[in-house]
């Protein structure tokens, strides 16, 4: 297991290098730079040149990248040009908001998707199956920002049950924290629930046709035994895979939901970095999310051995 983990980490290194290269160079394709964003509309070329020298922007892109990646290897993601705050500190400050949002979104998706996916597979061809299939297609088709807007209109403005935005730290008020996070989690997790639901149904259908499940049913085992113990556990591997992938996507794709609900997470931080052309901050957030995505996928792979002991790692 240790050898497999180390091999996966070594394989992930080229991926992370590719992410760093893309995040570094693509942001510089946008018109303007950090200096013009800081100085505004009226500035002299002498002032701009002086600031570029201060931040090292007067050097070639290859030199800038080499200096930046060298600092990254030492654990230094640089400093924000606008706030002067270390990038890593800014990310860690916003990280709990995004982690809670993603965790609640995935939790909601699993609570909704797993029972409905199992129901659709067991009742294949029946009204329950068609209803679940319709919900899955609807969930995939509805954009997150549209669902978030509807949730605000329905549960906040019309019914007044939940706040429309903002964030309260868990340490300050746990109840208010959950009240502020319910709607964003539902909006972000809707599409994920639909994807997991369809995958659960498909995986369960494959397993229900296996001989050992048919034998368990022929022996007269109660449904909760042959469905949950024999069928569902063996159908979990593809479900865990898609859940891990979706969690990684949510970690980096929460920008829109955080903007709609005014959540001070990593997505909002990235958006501010884009608007300000804050190169160091944007590069740092993209690279940080990439590392998290790789680690989540590694964790999913390691979970396979627990779900199916027949899987061996070399």
CATH of residue 125 = 1.10.3720.10
Q: Are 183 and 101 in contact (CB under 8 A)?
A: no
User: How sure is the predictor about 300, in pLDDT bands with cuts at 50, 70 and 90?
Assistant: confident
65 with 128, same domain: the answer is no
Higher pLDDT, 61 or 97: 97
Distance CA 101, CA 95 (A): 10
62 with 129, same domain: the answer is no
pLDDT value at position 1? 64
Among 4-13, 59-68, 112-121, 301-310, top mean pLDDT goes to 112-121
Distance CA 152, CA 123 (A): 35
* Within-domain flag for 227: yes
199 with 93, same domain: the answer is yes
pLDDT value at position 209? 72
* pLDDT above 70 for 101: yes
149 with 288, same domain: the answer is yes
Domain boundary among the residues 43, 73, 103 is at 73
* Within-domain flag for 15: yes
Higher pLDDT, 300 or 96: 96
pLDDT (tens digit per residue) in 213-267:
777 777 777 777 777 776 777 788 888 888 888 888 888 778 888 888 988 988 8
Distance CA 62, CA 51 (A): 19
* Within-domain flag for 313: no
pLDDT value at position 183? 92
pLDDT value at position 105? 92
Domain boundary among the residues 42, 73, 104 is at 73
pLDDT mean across residues, the chain = 81
Higher pLDDT, 277 or 101: 101
Mean local confidence (pLDDT), 141-165? 87
* Within-domain flag for 118: yes
Q: How many residues does the chain have?
A: 314
57 with 171, same domain: the answer is no
Q: Please give the residue range of the domain that contains residue 233.
A: 87-307
Mean local confidence (pLDDT), 116-145? 83
User: How sure is the predictor about 47, in pLDDT bands with cuts at 50, 70 and 90?
Assistant: low
Domain boundary among the residues 38, 73, 108 is at 73
Domain count, the chain: 2
Q: Worst-scoring range by mean pLDDT, 109-118, 138-147, 207-216?
A: 207-216
pLDDT value at position 104? 92
* pLDDT above 70 for 82: yes
* pLDDT above 80 for 134: yes
* Within-domain flag for 80: no
* Within-domain flag for 140: yes
103 with 54, same domain: the answer is no
What are 86's strand-pairing partners?
79
Half-sphere exposure of 278 (CA within 13 A, CB side): 25
117 with 224, same domain: the answer is yes
pLDDT (tens digit per residue) in 170-203:
888 899 999 999 999 999 888 888 889 888 888 8
150 Cβ contact partners less than 8 Å away, ≥ 6 residues apart: none
* Within-domain flag for 191: yes
164 with 19, same domain: the answer is no
Mean local confidence (pLDDT), 286-293? 85
pLDDT value at position 314? 53
- The values of phi and psi at residue 255, to 5°, are -60, -50
Mean local confidence (pLDDT), 42-60? 70
Q: Are 93 and 87 in contact (CB under 8 A)?
A: no
Q: Are 98 and 90 in contact (CB under 8 A)?
A: no
* Within-domain flag for 138: yes
191 with 232, same domain: the answer is yes
Distance CA 80, CA 281 (A): 5
56 with 118, same domain: the answer is no
Strand, coil or helix: 86: strand
pLDDT value at position 107? 92
148 with 288, same domain: the answer is yes
- The CA distances from residue 57 to 51, 208, 276, in Å, are 8, 61, 15
Distance CA 12, CA 28 (A): 25
DSSP collapsed to 3 states, 145-185: HHHHHHHHHHHHHHCCCCCCCCCCCCCCCHHHHHHHHHHHH
| DSSP per-residue codes, 17-83 | HHHHHHHHHHGGGSSS-HHHHHH-S---HHHHHHHHHHTTTTS-HHHHHHHHHHHHHTT---B-TTT
67 with 161, same domain: the answer is no
């Amino acid at each position: 297991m240790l050898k497999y983990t180390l091999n996966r980490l070594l394989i992930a290194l080229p991926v992370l290098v590719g992410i760093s290269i893309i995040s570094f160079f693509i942001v510089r394709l946008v018109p303007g730079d950090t200096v013009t964003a800081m100085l505004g509309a009226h500035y002299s070329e002498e002032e701009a040149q002086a600031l570029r020298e201060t931040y090292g922007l007067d050097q070639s892109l290859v030199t800038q990248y080499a200096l930046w990646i060298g600092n990254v290897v030492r654990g230094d993601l640089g400093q924000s040009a606008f706030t002067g705050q270390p990038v890593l500190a800014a990310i860690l400050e916003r990280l709990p908001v995004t982690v809670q949002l993603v965790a609640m979104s995935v939790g909601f998706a699993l609570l909704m998707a797993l029972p409905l996916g199992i129901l659709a597979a067991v009742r294949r061809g029946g009204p329950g199956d068609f209803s679940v299939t319709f919900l899955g297609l609807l969930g995939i088709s509805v954009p997150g920002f549209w669902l978030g807007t509807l949730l605000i209109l329905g549960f906040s403005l019309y019914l007044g049950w939940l706040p429309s935005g903002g964030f309260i730290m868990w340490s300050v008020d746990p109840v208010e924290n959950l009240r502020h996070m319910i709607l964003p989690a539902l909006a972000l997790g809707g599409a994920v629930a639909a994807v997991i639901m369809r995958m659960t149904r498909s995986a369960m259908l494959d397993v229900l046709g296996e001989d050992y499940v048919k034998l368990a049913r022929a022996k007269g085992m109660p449904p909760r035994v042959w469905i949950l113990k024999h069928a569902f556990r063996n159908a979990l591997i593809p479900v865990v895979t898609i859940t891990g992938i979706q969690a990684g996507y949510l970690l980096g794709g929460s920008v829109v939901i955080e903007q709609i609900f005014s959540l001070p997470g990593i997505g909002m931080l990235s958006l501010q970095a884009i608007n300000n052309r804050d190169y160091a901050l944007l590069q740092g957030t993209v690279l940080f999310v990439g590392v998290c995505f790789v680690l989540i996928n590694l964790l999913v792979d390691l979970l396979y051995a627990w779900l199916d002991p027949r899987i061996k790692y070399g």
